Amino acid sequence: MAESEERLVWLAKTGDTEAFSELVSLFESKVYRAAYALTGNEEDAKDLSQETFVKAYRGISRFRGKCSFFTWLYRILLNTFGTWLRKRTRTVEVLESHRRQKVAADFAGSSSSNSQLTSDRETVDRVYRAISSLPHEQRMVIVMRCLEEMTYREIARAMSCSIGTVKSRIHAARLSLRHKLLQESEFQYRGQ
């Protein structure tokens, strides 16, 4: 933990709401991005992020500093997501169309070809659909590893499991993603 982050955590633990607000400012985009990757929906991601920070605020006195503050926050997010997921009877929604276009544009970079941009958008859509269809634990590790670029150790702490378990879940998730994407590609190829 950086010294300023450490100080903010200490102040927040003593009841300093401004210090906690600064911690929220430091981590809100990372928490939202992870929540969005887990839910695939902007509104649900906002709700999940907000609930994560509310729970963190209520429980900051229990933060012991044995891991980074973000890892602790991420653990709260994962627990909150697990509860959210159990409450849902529907499948996780895919990215909304305007969000998909933004992600595809970011993904495409400076591509000048419209057909290339369309192809890139379709690729991004396929990948997000495949991620959202993964089992809960596989989806979480893929999001943490690939989108948040967390280390195996950080993921293990956030999920309260061993590094070996993290590695096996990531491996299984990658195999599942590969299978789903290949299956979809074959289906599209046959349809042409």
pLDDT-above-70 percentage for the chain: 77
Question: Residue 91 pLDDT more than 60?
Answer: no
In the chain the domains, ranked by start, together with CATH numbers, are 3-87 (1.10.1740.10), 97-191 (1.10.10.10)
- Give the tokens for residue 47: 């709700």
Residue among 117, 113, 174, 114 nearest 141 (CA): 174
pLDDT of residue 143: 85
Mean pLDDT value across residues 91-117 = 47
pLDDT of residue 103: 47
- Rounded CA gap, 139 and 76, in Å? 16
Query: Which pLDDT band, with edges at 50, 70 and 90, does 110 fall under?
Result: very low
pLDDT of residue 118: 55
pLDDT of residue 108: 47
Average pLDDT, the chain: 80
Q: What is the dihedral of CA 79, 163, 139, 137, to 10 degrees?
A: -50
